[in-house]
Chains A and B, each alone.
Chain A
Amino acid sequence: MSILLNRLQNSPKIIENLIKSTGSKNNSTSNSLNNSSNSTNSTNSNNNNNNNIINNSSNSSSSNGVIFKQPIRARQLFSFSELVGTDLTLLLEESIILRVLSYFDYTELFILKRVCSRWKPLAEHKSLYTQLHMQSFIVNCRILPIPILRTFISNLSMNTDEIDAIKMVCRDMPPVSLPVLENLTITSTPTPTPTITTSTNQLLKSSQDDIIFNKSHSYQHNQHNSYNSSNSISSNHHANHSHGHLRVSSVDESYLTTSNSSSTSASSLQSSNDYYSTSPLMNGSQNNSGSGGNTPNAQRKNQDKELKRKEKQRKEREKRMEESVKVWNEDIIPNWDKRKDSKKVRDLVFQGIPSLVRSKVWPLLIGNDLNITPELFTIFGARAERAKQKSESSSLGREGSVSLIHLDLPRTFPMLSIFQQEGPLHQSLANVLEAYVCYRPDVGYVQGMSYLGALFLLILDEFTSFVCLSNLLNNPCYMSFYTMNLQAMEVYMKAMDSLMQQHLPKVHRHLKDMGIQPDVFMIDWVLTIFSKALPLDLASHVWDNIFMDGEIVIFQTALGILKLYSKELESADFDVCMTLLTHLPPDIDDDDLFQSISSFNINQKNFNKMIGKSD
């Protein structure tokens, strides 16, 4: 079979035959296994479907024998309703499906992987992303920020039936975005060999576009607080209209308004989750100034400018990262003990550890003071199995909380669909958390832990994740939060309060006047170490620094975030501040945040004094 496949490399036509033959083979096996004519019939029809797929894909590949990845609209290949509930793909060998998948464009792969659990790992297979320069991005960290995913899907202009059909098969499909603007349309340009440089641009552009929508939505979201302009009323009406179900007409409508006069219309499409909730007041003021002469065109130009600047920044950052990979691999990691305290390492960590080497650097930074061995991990795994079977009352500690873990797994980064029941890392995350609960029955499982375990698992393997999680949490700061020790937490809250007073006096006063105490946002931020509040790539960048410098970075980051939104937090009313603090906008920029963070130089000694730690 493998020889055959090799020969097939350049000739899609043969694959077709191969599939046919495999199909008939399957046919015969199913015949012999099952004499009922019904089953044979269904298998036949399935084979027909398979052939259809292959026919289409081979047509699309070029005739000169080189495999091109031409964009094929997924809907030309099969109707989703045919696919739902069939065992169509079970008849094919994985290698064949992989071959078939290799004809698809990246955008389509992202749809395909959401079709069923069997296709998912296949559509994520390394070999399909060979031409992707940022392979590490997809394969190594598997962290896909939601705007990117949404862009992929939105580029596949689907009709409502198809959207509904996909919704049936995957419960957490990101809200489908609107058809893409002319000048942003990307995928339709048939590039034989798509490279990431072009697609990154596209992504950037489109995700930027999304953000505009988000903002306008959230503007609307908070608008109810002041029943002022007629604009808001109409957009409210609009939003109500299109809530819940996607309706093409309303989609187009809101889309048009959005593109014409950015923030007055409300695209309620994305209201489903907390990524989009908050509105910096900024949007409101933008809107006001817009009515005062700022034409939509000018706004548009500004947005474009901003977009280009961000794009440039991101490119520079990526380039820096790429260059630093070499330094990490050849110099720092082999000589870790000597290098770890050098200024160079500190600088490199501050700019962010490249995701390629994170898997090596994180364990080094965190260390293993607890001396956890693989055996220990296995032992606690076994103990967790036993704890699951035993009734809760029999255990002395909080081992019983293992039963809570499975409730939270699917709710951990649900948009990634990696930790769902059928997701690739579901069991791993369960193993890590269960082992931890049995390792520290005094702590038990507390909500928030699954986020930590999950982000470790996105980067590290199971055992290393366990080591890192255990060692990280073995720290008075996290411990007091996870055990909800109010007295100990109070110390950290007071520290945060006085840091705010010292560095952001205006914000501090305004929040205090409104009765918003640091615990409103700090509890969530500390428990999940920003992994829930910030976009994943940004959160892992914060983690890099936390592993380097300890919990002081949490407070620095918190101050950085507050400073970033200080304009709103100094004047906005209670509802806006609360919403902002509990749902940070999804468009926080990496460079902006870290610039803001670096502006706070907290003296480690003073900080230790604040939290009552003797050095």
Chain B
Amino acid sequence: MSDSKSYDILFKIVFVGLSKVGKSAIVSRYVDNMFSMRNQTIHPEFHVRNVVVDNIKVSLQIWDQGGCDRYMNLGNLFYRNAKGVFMVFDICKRDSFEYCQSWFDTTTRSVNKYNGFKPEKCVYYLIGNKTDLALDRQVTIEEAEQFSKSNNIKYLETSAKEATGLILFESITRDMLLKHTEMEPTSSISLMYSKSNSTASYLSTCC
């Protein structure tokens, strides 16, 4: 494809979750550092972000899909080669959390089916969005953590509006890198993944 490869490794991240939980808001907060009333997402929105983690240039392809349940049918295109999946729910809407739970099955199955690789190669995150509205919280941290623990995935809370919790992109990048090296130890990219998890200083983003 591009002759001058400007990155060492490319990861595809997809966003899933019910309509209006803030998938696109998280993406646009991360990509453009903007929070605004946006169009509804149809299918699919595509963004790229290049980050450098531990001297490795990573290109993140962020795919953002409309939350309409009908769009679930379109799994094929959407999940192909995905290395990271964010399942987003709105902490003020119980049904969006329940949907994530029931969706986890479908998602792993789809990734399995379309990717041709085992689902454990993919990193899943459960994201509780809209912590700025915590007063109306309907899903407690405990139950979200319980669900994520039982499925061995990570749980993070964010607020796209207040730009909190955006560490999730960095975190998932590290996890994907880690998984990548586990899966392909012979990979040409030598990873010097530092165990000390001092976070932000390691990650420099560039537009």
Contact = CB atoms under 8 A, between A and B. Distances in A.
Interface of A: 171-172, 220-227, 236, 239-240, 243-244, 271-274, 404, 407-408, 410-414, 444, 446-448, 450, 482-484, 486, 513-514, 517, 519-520, 523-524, 527-528, 532, 573-575, 578-579, 582-583
Contacts of A573: 1-2
B70 interface: yes
A98 to B, nearest CB: 29
Given A226-B4, A411-B40, A484-B70, A575 B33 contact: no
B34 interface: yes
Contacts of A528: 42
A447 B6 contact: no
A260 to B, nearest CB: 21
A222 B48 CA distance: 8
B137 to A, nearest CB: 19
A227 B38 contact: no
A575 B28 CA distance: 17
B39 A532 contact: yes
A524 B71 CA distance: 11
A31 to B, nearest CB: 39
A481 to B, nearest CB: 10
Contacts of A413: 39
Contact of A273 (B38, B67, B68, B70): B38
Interface in B28-75: 28, 32-34, 36-50, 59, 61, 66-68, 70-71, 73-74
Contacts of B67: 447
Nearest to B32: A271
Contact of B6 (A226, A271, A578): A226
Contacts of A444: 70
A222 B61 CA distance: 12
Interface residues of B, number: 38
Nearest to B95: A392
Given A223-B207, A240-B207, A483-B70, A408 B19 contact: yes
Contacts of B2: 225-226, 573-574
B40 A578 contact: no
**Chain B interface mostly:** loop
Interface in B1-24: 1-2, 4, 6, 19-20
A172 B46 CA distance: 22
A413 B39 CA distance: 6
A446 B70 contact: yes
A171 B37 contact: yes
A579 B1 contact: no
B73 A236 contact: no
B48 A575 contact: yes
A227 B51 CA distance: 12
Contacts of B32: 243, 271-272
A454 to B, nearest CB: 11
A172 B37 contact: yes
7 contacts: A244-B34, A273-B38, A447-B42, A447-B68, A448-B66, A532-B42, A578-B61
B36 A273 contact: yes
Contact of A414 (B39, B44, B71): B39
Given A447-B66, A574-B1, A484 B44 contact: no
A224 B44 contact: no
A222 B44 CA distance: 18
